[in-house]
Each structure stands twice: as C-alpha cells, then as structure tokens.
Structure 1
C-alpha cells in the first residue's frame, strides 16, 4: 500500500462514522417538525380569518345573539395573542397555554352552532359553517402531521447512532407533541337544539 493513501483511510473512517451519527438527519428532522408546526399555525390563522365573516353574518340575524358573538370575538382575540414559535416546542407549558386559547375558540364556536339552528337555512351561514368545519378538519390533520414529525425527530435523537450526533453536535432536546389540554376533549360534544323528546 502506498504511503500516500495511509492518511486518507482515517479520514474516510471518520467521515463514515460521522455520517451515521445524525449530522444531517437531526437538523432535517427538526426542521420538518417546525414546518409541520407552521402548518398547524397556518390552519389556526385560517380559522381566525373566517370568524369575523361568520360573526358579521350572524350579527345581521338579530340582537339576541350578542352574548355568544361577544364570547366568540373575545376567544378569537385571546387566541391571536398567544404565540408559539418553533423554538418554544420543547416547552410543554407554552404548548398547553397555546392549546387552551385555541380550545376556547372551538368551544365558543360550538356554542354558536348549537344556539342558531334556525340560521342553517341561510345560505351565507351554511357556507361559512361549512368552511369552519373544513378548517377544523384541516387543523386536526395538521396536528396529526405535526405529531408524526415530532415522533420521527424524538425517535431519531434518542436512537443509535443518531443519538450520538444529537448530543454531541446539537444538544438536541425532545420536541413536545401536540395533545388536547381541555378536559373532555377526547369525547365528542353533544349537540342539542332543544327539539329532542
């Protein structure tokens, strides 16, 4: 073997060892989780943008709706004040605070739906409610995609050989998965329009 190739061998061994330690896969998985979180926030923003249109439509139906409309507006404003960046995803308290604010919006929207069955015949209301339902579905899918990305990242930083690179090069910490923080969130709400026997 030529002496010229002897220094190359340790360099190749080191490169192979580093490539198996998550040098590129750790930040890629982390960025994927952050991108999925951005998708969740995007869907919440879509919902926040739709609510003023819904409120405007329902306001035209009469003065008796004022209380619920006020609560929807307050919940929306409060939810828009709670911000969560990709760097905050390792803090369970911040994620729980964000979800509480978003859950308040969902609960008030459910109250709105239950209180106004007579408005379902109005085309605008039906269209807006359909859009809100679609948005809630999009939020659910975005949450699932986020949790899948978080699971992949958290698994990667905890398993060999990527765990080595995660600790040495990135000081990687687990990202908090999304979970419902509202009591009873795992149970479908009962809708009663007051016409049950």
Structure 2
C-alpha cells in the first residue's frame, strides 16, 4: 500500500470519528433540549389547571365577600396575566403574582366562618393545594432538566457544537422570595 493511500485512510477514519462525535453530541443536546421543553409543558399544564380552578373559587367567595372586591380583582388580573404569559420568565413572574393574590384571599377567608365551612370552597381549596404541589414538582423537574442541559452546553467539546448549532442557555423557573413562603391556612 502506498503512503498516500495510508494517509487518505487515516484522514478518512479521523473524519468519520469527528463526524460521528459531532452527530452524537448534537443528538444528545437535542434530547436534553426536548426534555427541557417537555418539562416546561408539564409546568404549563399545571398552571393552566390552577387558572381553571380560580373562576370557581372566585364565584364561591364572591357570594360571601361582596365588599372584598379588590382581592377578587387582583386574583382575576393575576390569572389573566398567567394565561397570557409566553416566556419562562413571564410565567414565573405571573405565577408569583397569582400566588401572592391567593395568599391574600386566604387571609380574607379567615373573616368568613360560613365560607370556611362551605363544602364547595373546601373542595376547591383542596384541589388548589394539590395543584400547587404538582406545580412545585413540575418546577423542580423542569429546573433539574435545565441544569443538566445548561451544564451540557457548557462542557467541552459540547460547547463548540452548541455554539455551531445555536443551542442557547435555558432559563430557570424561579420563584421570588415572597412566593416561597407557604401561607398558613386554618379552617377550624
């Protein structure tokens, strides 16, 4: 075999290895990016479930709290903002505002013993609490997927492939400090 042929074979083998490495890295990044998108969809489903519960909760509360219009308006506005949110940052901010408004409702409900004992209200509160837990779980899963994805696009040589194919850093779904505190609710 001539030395030119040997060099050509070595170059071809190296090219195949490099192409295989690029394809493998690219596919791995696509998989992680899809996982991030899937986890964001899970959060969106739970946020939508939560926003769907709110009109029923508001209607139940309205009958008892006719003069507490400001909190009802605040919840309604926060719900509309959450429904209209597009980016992760917008959803996180809207979620924080809605959580804050619902915490305000919890405080007001304490002044209405009949409302606290209303079965429909109790059921809605239970459903809302369950949904809040699902949102927290979905947010944790999403942030874990984001961490893995962001870590991967920063590693060498993945960072080169990520730059070539425009893989951008994903945003975390972060709650503000005020939204991290769990309100105390007593229905006794």
TM-score scaled by structure 2? 0.82
Q: 1:179 to 1:120 in 2, by over 3 A?
A: same
- Aligned pairs for 1:1-197 within 5 A: 10-21=11-22, 22-84=25-87, 95=89, 97-117=90-110, 118=113, 119-168=115-164, 170-180=165-175, 182-189=176-183
Tell me whether 55-64 or 119-128 shows the greater mean CA deviation. 55-64
Equivalent in the alignment of 1:92: none
- Counterpart secondary structure, 1:174: coil
Q: Indicate conservation of the 8 Å contact 2:99/2:179, yes or no.
A: no
Q: Indicate conservation of the 8 Å contact 1:157/1:174, yes or no.
A: yes
Q: Indicate conservation of the 8 Å contact 1:43/1:139, yes or no.
A: yes
Q: 1:133 to 1:67 in 2, by over 3 A?
A: same
What is the deviation of 1:5? 10
Q: 1:18 to 1:165 in 2, by over 3 A?
A: farther
Q: Distance in 2 between matches of 1:191 and 1:23?
A: 49
Tell me whether 113-122 or 139-148 shows the greater mean CA deviation. 113-122
TM-score scaled by structure 1? 0.78
Q: 1:51 to 1:4 in 2, by over 3 A?
A: same
Q: Indicate conservation of the 8 Å contact 1:20/1:162, yes or no.
A: no
Unaligned runs of 5+ in 1: 90-94
Tell me whether 146-155 or 65-74 shows the greater mean CA deviation. 65-74
Q: Distance in 1 between matches of 2:5 and 2:17?
A: 20
Q: 1:143 to 1:68 in 2, by over 3 A?
A: same
Tell me whether 148-157 or 61-70 shows the greater mean CA deviation. 61-70
Equivalences, count: 182
Whose helix fraction is larger, Structure 1's or Structure 2's?
2
- Counterpart secondary structure, 2:102: helix
Unaligned runs of 5+ in 2: none
